[in-house]
Structure 1
Amino acid sequence: MSIDFLPDKPIYQQLMERISGDIIKGIVKPGDKLPSVRDYAVEAGVNANTMQRVYRELELVGITETKRGQGTFVTKDEIKLKELRKDMKETLIASFIHHAEGLGFSKQEMIESLQIRKGGE
């Protein structure tokens, strides 16, 4: 399962977002072991060094923890996972607003459209 990467964003960031998204969606659960760096690199179709960076960055922000000789695991820290969810939500909202404003939509138009969608459209 090779991944189609966007050309305008570093691959390691896209992989971090993918893993974070899988955690938020519950595909990967707190305490789950992630595939080895090599296995995930092969699965994603990237260099093992890129995958190693992804795992290192995820650990630096507290999303994962590496247990020597056992592998890399998703944190069980509920506060960290709630922060991850909140951060991803805010990033998506900021991106949406930026793109919509770039197309000339007012904040009021965006709010009205979101309220209509919430109502069951």
Structure 2
Amino acid sequence: MFQIDPMSREPVYEQIIAQVERFILTDVLLPGSQIPSVRNVSMTNSINPRTILKAYTDLDARGLIQSVPGKGYFVCTDAQEKLLQKGRAKMKDLTELLTELAIAGVTKEEISACVEQAYADAEKQHQQGGTIV
């Protein structure tokens, strides 16, 4: 399920968090579904279990997954909505960036083309989904 890049500057636990969030947003992980166990991820990816537990604990604190003692971790029913709200909260940053680009002389057409490309890329990723171990 997880594809970890050991050469990345991004810590492994943050890579796991980002991938779980993406899997939730692209319906690879559905509400109520179980995510791979710490042991499974550790063995499959040769990652220290404490690193995985750190990622899962962070996701639990964000309200995206929940631990069920003796059974594992499961996706919360409102996880996708929480992530959508987080994305919408970035709109202010986007507005500021677009203002800077406009001041720098970037045209609406160039920005529109960039937006169209981003949405096409997102759709492609959504269709590709991911695989669960």
Q: Same fold (TM over 0.5)?
A: yes
2:55 aligned with 1:54: yes
Task: Indicate the SS of the match to 1:16.
Answer: helix
User: Which 4+ residue blocks in structure 1 deviate beyond 4 angstroms?
Assistant: 88-91, 115-118
State the shift of 1:6 in Å.
5.4
> Matches of residues 1-121 of structure 1 in structure 2 within 5 Å?
3-5=4-6, 7-77=8-78, 80-88=79-87, 106=106, 108=108, 110-114=110-114, 117=117
State the shift of 1:2 in Å.
5.3
Distance 1:113 1:5, change over 3 A: farther
CA contact (8 A) 2:4 2:16 kept: no
* Residues 17-26 or 80-89, more deviating: 80-89
Gaps of 5+ in 1: none
CA contact (8 A) 1:34 1:74 kept: yes
Bigger RCO (CA 8 Å, 6+ sep): 2
CA contact (8 A) 1:59 1:66 kept: yes
State the shift of 1:34 in Å.
1.1
TM-score, normalised relative to structure 2: 0.65
Distance 1:115 1:88, change over 3 A: closer
State the shift of 1:117 in Å.
4.8
State the shift of 1:20 in Å.
0.9
Count the aligned residue pairs: 113
CA RMSD of aligned residues (A): 3.5
What is the letter of the counterpart of residue 25 of structure 2? I
Task: Indicate the SS of the match to 2:67.
Answer: strand
Distance 1:40 1:117, change over 3 A: closer
Gaps of 5+ in 2: 121-133
Task: Indicate the SS of the match to 2:33.
Answer: coil
Seq. identity, % = 23
CA contact (8 A) 2:4 2:12 kept: no
TM-score, normalised relative to structure 1: 0.71
Distance 1:89 1:18, change over 3 A: farther
